[in-house]
């Protein structure tokens, strides 16, 4: 279904991509109150706006968190030894990885990333992987942060086992900026995805899909690569520090597609789920 861009369109004053994602917020039926305390509150009301979309997004974020705390990753079924507490960056990365481009589904929206829909409409069934499903989920909830821009990149190798969509999302919780800053990004990381089909930097998009080349993103703490059809074979993902103004900077990496983790070299990391 198409979602009307009711309110809170981007970009921000310094050009960052906002909103990050969409949730239904038009003509949503919710609980109502008669403002009597104490008093009956069994009525309902219909309204529109971010006040209606935000609770849906918060509930979806809670489901993402439970997916990891119940140990669904990496097997796709609950397993207590696999359970861990995801970082906020990982929860956000999964939400963005699940987002679908409404322009590709016949809706009157600019292709992602856009000021109307950000990275698209949250659809958890396109990201969370379960036993017997057609899709896999690779996660690196990277707790060991970059201390300086001179440090070596983190490399994660993956194998694309069959042609199909490939989405790679890098998110980091940036240090607080100043309201006086012209650019609000304090710690700047770069995403680069390379494989048989070429080399793609984060946030280099045209028509809703990643394209080679383009200038590095120097504004956002979210970087995405999306290929509607990724070629089979070995692919390499690199996360490199460009500027670290407030060390140390950790991150979360999410890869969705017909993929499995490869065996290539990588910088020592924190909590990694295979």
Residue 65 has a CB neighbour count (10 Å cut-off) of: 16
What's the CA gap between 128 and 117, in Å, rounded? 21
Instruction: Give the residue-averaged pLDDT of 37-53.
Output: 79
Interval 75-88 mean pLDDT: 97
User: Can you say whether residue 257 is alpha, beta or left, with left for phi > 0 and alpha for psi between -120 and 50 degrees?
Assistant: left
- Three-class secondary structure assignment of 143-187: EEEECCCCCCCEEEEEEECCCEEEEEEEECCCCCCCCCCCCCCCE
Query: Which one is predicted more confidently, 266 or 120?
Result: 120
Q: Can you read off the two tokens belonging to residue 194?
A: 């390379």
Quick one: average pLDDT of 86-94? 98
pLDDT of residue 161 exceeding 50: yes
Environment class of 142 (CB within 10 Å of its CB; exposed 0-12, middle 13-18, buried 19+): buried
Query: Looking at residues 112-123, what average pLDDT do you find?
Result: 94
């Amino acid at each position: 279904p198409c979602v009307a861009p009711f309110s809170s369109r981007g970009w921000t004053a310094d050009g960052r991509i906002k909103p990050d994602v969409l949730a239904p917020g038009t003509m949503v039926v919710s609980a109502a109150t008669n403002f009597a305390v104490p008093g009956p509150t069994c009525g309902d009301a219909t309204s529109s706006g971010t006040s209606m979309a935000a609770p849906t997004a918060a509930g979806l974020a809670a489901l993402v968190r439970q997916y990891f705390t119940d140990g669904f990753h990496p097997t796709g079924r609950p397993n207590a030894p696999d359970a861990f507490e995801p970082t906020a960056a990982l929860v956000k990365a999964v939400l963005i990885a699940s987002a679908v481009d409404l322009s590709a589904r016949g809706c009157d929206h600019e292709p992602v990333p856009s000021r109307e829909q950000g990275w698209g409409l949250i659809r958890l069934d396109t990201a969370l992987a379960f036993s017997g499903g057609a899709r896999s989920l690779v996660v690196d909830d990277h707790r060991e942060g970059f201390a300086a821009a001179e440090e070596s990149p983190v490399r994660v190798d993956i194998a694309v086992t069959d042609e199909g969509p490939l989405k790679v999302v890098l998110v980091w919780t940036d240090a607080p900026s100043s309201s006086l800053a012209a650019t609000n990004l304090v710690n700047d990381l770069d995403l680069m995805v390379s494989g048989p089909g070429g080399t793609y930097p984060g946030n280099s998009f045209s028509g809703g899909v990643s394209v080679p080349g383009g200038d590095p993103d120097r504004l956002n703490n979210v970087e995405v690569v999306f290929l509607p059809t990724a070629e089979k074979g070995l692919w390499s993902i690199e996360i490199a520090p460009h500027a670290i103004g407030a060390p140390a900077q950790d991150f979360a990496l999410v890869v969705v597609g017909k993929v499995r983790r490869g065996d290539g070299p990588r910088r020592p990391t924190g909590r990694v789920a295979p």
